Amino acid sequence: MDKFVIEGPNSLKGEVTVSGSKNASLPMMAAAILTTEDVILHNVPDLKDIATMCKLLVELGCRCKREDKTIVINCSNLDSNKAPYELVKTMRASILVLGPLMARLHNAEVSLPGGCAIGVRPVNFHIDGLRALSADVKIENGYIVSTAKKLKGGSIYFDIPSVTGTENLMMAATLADGETVMKNAAKEPEVVDLAKMLIMMGAKIDGIGDSIIRIDGVDKLSGVEYTVMNDRIEAGTLMVAALATSSEVTIKGMPIYAMDAIVDKFKEIGGKIEIIDKDVAVVGGKTIKPTIISTAVYPGFPTDMQAQFMAVLSLADGSSIIKETIFENRFMHAAELNRLGANIVISGNEAVVNGVDRFVGATVMATDLRASASLVIAGLAAEGKTEVLRIYHLDRGYEKLEEKLSNLGAVIRREKE
């Protein structure tokens, strides 16, 4: 396994370009199952999860070829309906093939994803939604086994807005007979990006970006060439890194239109932003102000930015409160930040972050993707050497992060543990 070694404190300066969004790319890759024609995706990040989805599509009989930032997928020879445990266990987003398989083949066997370090991610949204589309769904030997003569439009209500649930069922409904109405659907920009691509393929979708989405099923979908949106969480992570190190960084390709909650909170705690054409200049002030954060579904403050903000608020002039409402185990990075000198007290789903004067380098261990990013941010600001272990978590969601930070002047390198 690899680790990061960071010599701090660091001062960042220069330009950095945001990569394409992993969370937008994965459902788009799964959507290739819906057509027999080529699906060409541009701006796809080079990440382990993307490679895993490619491997899964090949397992199903598709062709999946990558060249630089472009992936070409063709599922004309789709000959399997089974997503095996061996692949699904390494990436929970594999469940996104369930809806497209049902739409195309009318039967699917997709392994249950299994555990997740940051908390339970229920699959009941996917199962109940497919049943609402007239599918017969059972759990057998650790697999979701779903069959239908033909999916039929229906009414789907989400008790809690589910991103993958909305995406999966939206894809399934594109080829169903009749109209499907999804209520309390997820509004995330990645859901909107998927819907835009599906519409270019010939799907009839109304209400994208709203809580009520209507889909009129069509007989078939065509191929498409589409450019994936940039990653708003990577952009937010780079913003916070600049603030934690009192740096000035120009972020190119930042999808600021999708980042209102992140940008507002960034400004509130002392960061400054200037929009220059399509670039965003980010300036970290000398003083970080405390605040109150409560994670929420979009357009609220994203749970995927909670850990990064906890890192920078550990250096604030005062105490902050962070409430995590999405995942029950998403404070595991707090203990590791405390090893670097933070003063964070956890009580249930609430964290009190008491600001300290500085971080001091130490060896810390990443527990999940966003926790990894928070430890890197803290390491950049810390005095002395910080080693971040188990960065394979980070490699799932950040494309060449150490190279981007090095180009900004950070002293960070990848080594074998």
Q: Which residues are part of the catalytic machinery? A: 116
Q: How many angstroms separate the CA atoms of 123 and 285, rounded?
A: 43
User: Each residue of 93-114: b (16+ CB within 10 Å) or e?
Assistant: bbbbbbbbbbbbbbbbbbbebe
Handedness of CA 342, 347, 348, 352 (dihedral sign): negative
User: Each residue of 329-364: b (16+ CB within 10 Å) or e?
Assistant: ebbbbbebbbbbbbebebeebebebebbeebebbeb
Q: How many angstroms separate the CA atoms of 73 and 31, rounded?
A: 10
Phi, psi (degrees; rounded to nearest 5) at 334: -60, -45
Q: What is the edge-to-edge ordering of all strands in the sheet holding 411-416?
A: 363-365, 384-389, 2-8, 411-416
If we measure between CA atoms, which residue out of 103, 97, 223, 76 comes closest to residue 175?
Answer: 103
Q: Quick check: 144 and 110 in contact, CB under 8 A?
A: yes
Q: How many angstroms separate the CA atoms of 397 and 21, rounded?
A: 9
Please list the residues that pair with 59 across neighbouring strands.
none
Helical H runs in 156-302?
A: 163-173, 189-200, 232-244, 260-268
